[in-house]
Amino acid sequence: MKIGIISYTSGYLGDNIRVTKFTECIQSMGFEVEIFNPFSKISKKNLIFQGIKHRSFIDLNLLRYGIREIAFDYYYKTASGILQNMLKNKEIDILQAETHSSVNICTDIKNKFNIPVFFDIHDEVVEVAKVIRKISNKVVDLYRNQEFRSIKNSDAVFVVSKYMKEHYKKIYPDYSEKMIVVSNGADPYLNLKKKYIKPLNVVYAGVFAYWEHVHDYLDAIKYIEDKEHFNFYLIGDGYQKKEIMDKIEKEKIPVKYLGLFPREELREILKDMHIGVAPSSNDIVRKVASPIKVFEYMSMGMPVVTADVGEWSEIVKKNNTGIVVPPEDPKAIADAIMAYEDEELWWKHSNNGIKLINEQYSWEKIIKNLKPVYERYSKR
């Protein structure tokens, strides 16, 4: 059986990590996998010309990572045509569309070639657009109608948390039976040897976007009483980067920005970190999410300081792998960080996190649970 993954993501952040881990784990189950990115073949200049010419355009990437891209109906038709050419003579049994933009181009292909389509949703893109783009109700309806068609035409819909499933069940109740929770996860780090040495290294590693509330981490640093007991680090990228860097400089916050790294390099850096911070906005975008950083922190033996917002905070709380604090509360984050001056507490949460990833939240365990789903829709 051969599975084609349709994706437009690249780089080192969460979306691309999920696609990469799906690919690796599906292959480990004995299936063939090929990734297709028809979007990379389209000229933005040509899109803008066609959009103006036809007076028909919509926002494609919904400001994903701060990149404003105007997309048009023409875009999806063009991308669908490119994908059809890519699929010729490939004998694909299942198409797996990573996020909304990818699934939008699969409907014609599904109908033409009778190929099952799986829709992998890991962002509430309409809600993100409402906050960042401040889109009108008319545009919200446009996006929801497009999303409805995608869910209706998909054979299976993967969602990243139980809250995302509940959220979409309310919007599209007739299709709830298609929805399967496929959490994010991490890879166990073999032979990890952690050391408790002061100053403790504290880090935020992830995207710089409104829903992450990186500012809460920066403000928390101001409340730390004995700053000489800690080193503070920042890793990542995103559309808020300039704003965050300006804040650090203006307010003289003692945090070091390390940059953005490929995942394996990042894991080597996290190996020497002691505390992972996961602040968050307190809205539906985050409630339904499943931040990969939280699972990566735990896999690297780092106790997690996280906002009490989504399913991931319940996982941390239930398994005693960190400290859960009220959302949007920098003082509470600071208090939690300082609590790890208690070495016994640190070791307890560190070991619990490693154990949890090994036993329940490794990418391999999560994705291998889908083997019966893939086999059900494979060609006989």
pLDDT, the chain, mean: 88
Q: Which residues does 368 contact at the CB level (< 8 Å), separation at least 6?
A: 25, 28, 29
Report pLDDT for 105.
85
Q: At what angle do helices 44-54 and 73-87 cross, to 10 degrees?
A: 130
Q: Report the 10 Å Cβ neighbour count for 259.
A: 11
| Count of residues in the chain | 380
Q: How far apart are CA 76 and CA 359, in angstroms?
A: 41
Answer whether 239's CB lies under 8 Å from 209's CB: yes
Q: How far apart are CA 301 and CA 274, in angstroms?
A: 8
> Residue 188's beta-bridge partner residues?
none
Report pLDDT for 61.
40
Report pLDDT for 38.
84
205-258 residue pLDDT tens: 999 999 999 999 999 999 999 999 999 999 999 999 999 999 999 999 999 999
> Residue 235's beta-bridge partner residues?
205, 259
Does pLDDT of 80 surpass 90? no
Average pLDDT of the residues in 145-165: 94
Closest CA to 100 of 83, 80, 79, 120: 120
165-174 residue pLDDT tens: 999 999 999 9
Q: How far apart are CA 271 and CA 182, in angstroms?
A: 26
Domains and CATH numbers, the chain: 2-184+363-376 (3.40.50.2000), 200-359 (3.40.50.2000)
85-127 residue pLDDT tens: 888 888 899 999 998 888 888 877 888 888 999 999 988 988 9
In order, the DSSP letters of 6-47 are E----SSSHHHHHHHHHHHHHHHTT-EEEEE-GGGGS-HHHH
Report pLDDT for 14.
66
Average pLDDT of the residues in 64-75: 45
208 exposed, middle or buried (CB, 10 Å; 0-12, 13-18, 19+)?
buried
Report pLDDT for 379.
60
Closest CA to 65 of 120, 8, 20, 19: 8
SS3 content of the chain, % helix, strand, coil (to 5): 50, 15, 30
Answer whether 152's CB lies under 8 Å from 175's CB: yes
- Tokens describing residue 150: 């995608």
346 exposed, middle or buried (CB, 10 Å; 0-12, 13-18, 19+)?
buried
Q: Which residues does 60 contact at the CB level (< 8 Å), separation at least 6?
A: 69, 70, 71, 75, 101
Report pLDDT for 317.
97
Report pLDDT for 118.
96
